[in-house]
């Protein structure tokens, strides 16, 4: 018999180690290497001892039409799923504790149940009575969702196998435990085994499975990254705790575009869909003020306007503060360096604070010009024209690069009453009226040109 070998795995990056170490040499994280029983002993080392069965192979052509996607009627959720729920798919929904994952999925389950899907909601975190109370508060009691409270993976799989639902929601994957794995619930080994079993079950039985996953401090779904690789779709539910906006973002989708977002507002009666996020994000805007720039962005397939706010103040610290919320801080450092080195505008001795209004996250390089605009406007204490939107990528030389989907950005800006765009010189724009009464275009080839004006 093969000797039983225990392995060690890093919970941060999933790297395998032969022995325990305080620090993972693959990703450099401390205290993340844990002992783990291997999933299977296998038929001897190198799979050499036993012969496998040959797998039938077939061509790419098929007569079978693809199974229809099902739309819940919650347009924001359907869009992020890539146009509806694909039967037999596995979806992971990650997010901070308390951000509203259970609320979102209970509302989603009810919406799918109301269009005739057989939906089952298994809660491992809350008792059935608690979930029922929440359903009552959300006005969902009439929806034919069936509810269960269980954490034992074997019992859950048996239930799903006999009930054969179209959709099963498991809240959350961290609470599940399997008696075949010798580790505590929530450990890497348990989370991985549970996710593996459920994803396999989804594919074999054609049941769509939505898994809830908590994220760690640094924003990754707890447990190894392999869970993200196993599922078809990974969605993150994000937002600032103090804000009412919540954004559901697809970071991976085998059945649709990634980076698509759905916008919700957390109200006393659950999550309300926000059909026009630009209007909502800009509604927080007050009088035109120094340090504010409106960025015409694209999230997935949809244009979204957001306000980027900057504050620049004299610092008393030896190394001044760079506080960035909702933007990539590496990107911000690069823009500050370009402003200093190429345009001769120093930020030494100055604290810099940057923020995206409404708790939105902006990851596009197209936001560079709006960030630079907000920084300059804050530093010079003079407001940008309130009727202008900005977009464009800044290269290390200070030159402005054109970005994708300029027309969509401009049309959205026009729809919201903006009459001027500040954009890269080389940007091609078609289908947007620019003459009298249309959009005014201020084209900039280089950041030094922008600073000079």
Chain residues in the site for ligand TYD (CB under 6 A): 95, 97-103, 134, 137-138, 266, 268-270
Task: Please tell me the chain's helix, strand, coil percentages from 3-state DSSP, rounded to the nearest 5.
Answer: 30, 25, 45
Q: Is 306 among the residues that bind Mg ion (CB under 5 A)?
A: no
If the CB atoms of residues 15 and 271 are measured against ligand TYD, the closer one turns out to be 271
Shortest distance in whole angstroms from residue 125 CB to Mg ion? 5
Please tell me whether 99 is known to bind a ligand: yes
If the CB atoms of residues 138 and 429 are measured against ligand TYD, the closer one turns out to be 138
CB atoms within 10 A of CB 385: 14
Which of ligand TYD, Mg ion, none binds 99 (CB below 5-8 Å, type-dependent)? ligand TYD
Shortest distance in whole angstroms from residue 215 CB to ligand TYD? 10
Which of ligand TYD, Mg ion, none binds 145 (CB below 5-8 Å, type-dependent)? none
Residue whose C-alpha is closest to residue 254's, from 306, 202, 185: 202
Which of ligand TYD, Mg ion, none binds 94 (CB below 5-8 Å, type-dependent)? none
**3-state secondary structure (DSSP) of residue 91:** strand
Separation between Cα atoms, residue 163 and residue 413, nearest integer Å: 49
If the CB atoms of residues 77 and 356 are measured against Mg ion, the closer one turns out to be 77
Here the tokens at position 54 are: 């040959």
Q: Is 175 among the residues that bind Mg ion (CB under 5 A)?
A: no
Shortest distance in whole angstroms from residue 244 CB to ligand TYD? 8
Residue 378 in contact with residue 291, Cβ under 8 Å?
Answer: yes
Shortest distance in whole angstroms from residue 322 CB to ligand TYD? 30
Query: What residue has token string 């190894």?
Result: 224
Please tell me whether 303 is known to bind a ligand: no
Which of Mg ion, ligand TYD, none binds 103 (CB below 5-8 Å, type-dependent)? ligand TYD
Please tell me whether 437 is known to bind a ligand: no
Q: C-alpha distances in angstroms, 228 versus 296, 319, 352? A: 31, 38, 35
Give all strands (DSSP E) within 230-380, no chain letters. 233-238, 245-253, 261-267, 270-273, 292-299, 302-314, 322-325, 350-356
Contacts of 217 (CB under 8 A, 6+ apart): none
Please tell me whether 96 is known to bind a ligand: yes
Please tell me whether 349 is known to bind a ligand: no
- Among 102, 123, 278, 427, the residue binding Mg ion under the rule CB under 5 A is 102
Please tell me whether 97 is known to bind a ligand: yes
> Where along the sequence are the contacts to Mg ion (CB under 5 A)?
102
Give the annotated binding-site residues for ATP.
95-102
């Amino acid at each position: 018999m093969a000797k039983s070998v225990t392995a060690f795995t890093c919970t941060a990056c999933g790297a395998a180690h032969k022995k325990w170490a305080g620090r993972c040499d693959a990703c450099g994280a401390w205290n993340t290497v844990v002992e783990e029983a291997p999933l299977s002993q296998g038929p001897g080392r190198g799979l050499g001892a036993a012969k496998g069965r040959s797998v039938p192979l077939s061509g790419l052509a098929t007569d079978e039409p693809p199974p229809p996607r099902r739309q819940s009627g919650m347009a924001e959720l359907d869009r992020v799923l890539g146009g509806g729920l694909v039967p037999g798919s596995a979806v992971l929904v990650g997010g901070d504790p308390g951000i509203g994952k259970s609320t979102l999925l209970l509302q989603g389950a009810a919406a799918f149940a109301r269009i005739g899907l057989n939906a089952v909601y298994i809660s491992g975190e809350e008792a059935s009575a608690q979930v029922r109370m929440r359903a009552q508060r959300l006005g969902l009691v009439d929806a034919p969702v069936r509810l269960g409270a269980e954490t034992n993976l074997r019992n859950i799989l048996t239930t799903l196998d006999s009930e054969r639902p179209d959709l099963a929601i498991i809240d959350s994957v961290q609470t599940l435990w399997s008696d075949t794995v010798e580790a505590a619930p929530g450990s890497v080994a348990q989370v991985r085994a549970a996710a593996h079993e459920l994803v396999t079950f989804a594919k074999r039985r054609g049941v769509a499975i939505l898994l809830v996953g908590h994220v760690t401090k640094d924003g990754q779904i707890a447990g190894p990254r392999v869970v993200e690789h196993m599922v078809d779709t990974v969605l993150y539910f994000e937002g600032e705790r103090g804000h009412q906006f919540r954004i559901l973002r697809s970071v991976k989708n085998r059945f649709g575009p990634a980076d698509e977002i759905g916008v919700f507002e957390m109200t006393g009666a659950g999550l309300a869909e926000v059909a026009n996020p630009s209007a909502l994000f800009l509604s927080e805007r007050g009088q035109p003020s120094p340090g504010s720039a409106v960025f015409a962005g694209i999230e997935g397939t949809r244009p979204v306007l957001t306000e980027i706010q900057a504050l620049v103040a004299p610092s008393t610290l030896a190394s001044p503060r760079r506080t960035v919320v909702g933007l990539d801080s590496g990107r911000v450092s690069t823009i500050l360096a370009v402003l200093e080195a190429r345009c001769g505008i120093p930020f030494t001795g100055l604290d810099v604070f940057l923020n995206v209004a409404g708790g939105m996250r902006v990851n596009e390089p197209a936001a560079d010009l709006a960030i630079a605009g907000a920084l300059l406007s804050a530093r010079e204490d003079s407001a940008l024209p309130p009727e202008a939107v900005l977009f464009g990528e800044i290269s290390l030389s200070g030159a402005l690069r054109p970005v994708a989907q300029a027309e969509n950005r401009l049309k959205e800006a026009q729809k919201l009453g903006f009459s001027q765009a500040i954009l890269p010189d080389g940007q091609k724009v078609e289908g947007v009226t620019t003459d009298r009464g249309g959009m005014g275009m201020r084209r900039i080839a280089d950041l030094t040109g922008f600073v000079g004006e």
